[in-house]
Amino acid sequence: MSAMTSRFVHVVVALVSIGAAALSAQRTSDGRPDLQGVWTNGTLTPLTRPAELAHRFSLTEAEAAEFERTGFERAMKTVPQLDRMTAGDLDEVYLDTANLKVVSDRRTSLIVDPPNGMLPAQLPEARQRNAARKLSYDDPESRTLDERCLASFVFGGSSAAPPLVPNPVIQDIYTIVQTPQYVTIMSELVHDARVIRMGGTHLPPTVRQWLGDSIGHWEGDTLVVDTTNFTDKTHYRGSSARLHVVERFTRSDATTLRYRATVEDPDTWAAPWTVEVPFRATREQIFEYACHEGNYAMENSLRGMRAKERDDDAAARKK
């Protein structure tokens, strides 16, 4: 072995040792990996693979740079047309797309299974169920949880409820607090907090929660979280109350959590699907998300229905 090769090997061994020591230091008092801190999963990599990249698993460096340069345009394409017309704050400053990057391996989708990077086919009965959902402008209880500022599932992204898929128009921030008995994940967006009970069993099927019922256990250095018992109001991307998500949190280095989630719902998709998203440590603060204080949707919906009633009554009297 040459002197240069020997020095290179020693440098590599030293770096690996330093990394292992740093990770071993990031442990709680009970010896588990310390997942605590403030994290963000913001990325420009889309959940599903764009049609123009249908047969591409990853981008070249040049393509990734162009993908990031056009991040704002791509983000806006994910926003429904109605919201683009009414939400004047959706500009590049608000979306902060200049600071977002594609994931490190330059994948073309966050979905890693199926291999085509797409959601499995939605079952016909799921389409019928979602089409039959009745949203009444005169009944606030029938409106969606995100419209009522109770939980966030807007634009196909969820916040505290699994799976933790990035919201394409808001870079969500999370705080993780960990004890031997509980792990709590609090999201800035709509101030949700999900409490994961370590060990034990799920609640009875009759007990349903917006964020589901989360049970955690450790597999080596990976926190595995099994979540069931969702309500029919959650309907993440059209899901039913039978939604079942298994998440895996692994601390890969001092500033990165590897997040992987497998999603199944036999009443919605033809097969399970898996998403992988990196969480990065951030110095950003979590601020109060005072959603409902500025939420005029419910009030204006009811006011609109009262106006319609007056107009209908006036039209009837003219007959």
Domain boundaries, the chain: 30-318
For residue 41, the model assigns a pLDDT of: 92
Calpha distance 95→65 (Å, rounded): 18
pLDDT given at position 139 = 81
Residues of the chain with pLDDT under 50: 8-9, 11-22, 82
Neighbour tally for 53: CB within 10 Å:
16
> How high is the pLDDT of residue 318?
86
Strand stretches in the chain, DSSP E: 37-40, 111-113, 173-178, 182-187, 193-198, 213-219, 222-228, 244-253, 256-264, 273-281
Kindly report the backbone phi and psi dihedral angles of residue 263, in degrees, each rounded to the nearest multiple of 5, phi listed first: -115, 130
Q: Measured at the alpha carbon of residue 208, what is the angle toward residues 205 and 210, in degrees to the nearest 5?
A: 150
Is residue 142 a contact partner of residue 149, using CB atoms and an 8 Å limit?
Answer: no
Q: What is the pLDDT of residue 116?
A: 95
pLDDT digits (tens, 9 = 90+) for 303-317: 888 999 899 989 888
pLDDT on residue 217: 98
Phi, psi of 308 (to 5 degrees): -65, -40
Six token digits for residue 242: 């039978």
pTM here?
0.82
- Gap between the Cα atoms of 35 and 162, Å rounded: 17
Q: What is the pLDDT of residue 251?
A: 95
Question: Which H or E run includes 301?
Answer: helix 297-318
Q: Could you identify the residue written with the tokens 């442990």?
A: 27
pLDDT of residue 83: 53
Q: 189-247 pLDDT, tens per residue?
A: 878 899 999 998 999 999 999 899 999 999 999 999 999 999 888 878 888 999 999 99
Q: Look at residue 87 in the predicted model and tell me its pLDDT.
A: 55
CB-based contact 14:137 (threshold 8 Å): no
Q: Which residues pair with 248 in a beta bridge?
A: 224, 260
Q: Is residue 236 within 8 Å of 153, Cβ to Cβ? A: yes
Cα 120 from chain centroid?
18
218, 258, 214: which is closest to 32 by C-alpha? 218
